[in-house]
Amino acid sequence: MTEAQRPSRFEAPLLQIDELSHGFFTRKGGVSTGLYSSLNCGFGSNDVRNAV
pTM of the model: 0.40
* Amino acid (1-letter code) at residue 24: F
pLDDT the model gives residue 15: 78
What dihedral angle (degrees, nearest 10) is formed by the CA atoms of 31, 28, 25, 48?
A: -10
Q: Residues near 48 by Cβ (< 8 Å), separated by ≥ 6?
A: 32
pLDDT in tens, 1-52: 456 677 677 777 887 888 877 777 777 777 888 887 777 777 788 888 888 7
Q: What is the DSSP letter of 46?
A: S
Cα 10 to Cα 15, 40, 50, distances in angstroms? 10, 23, 29
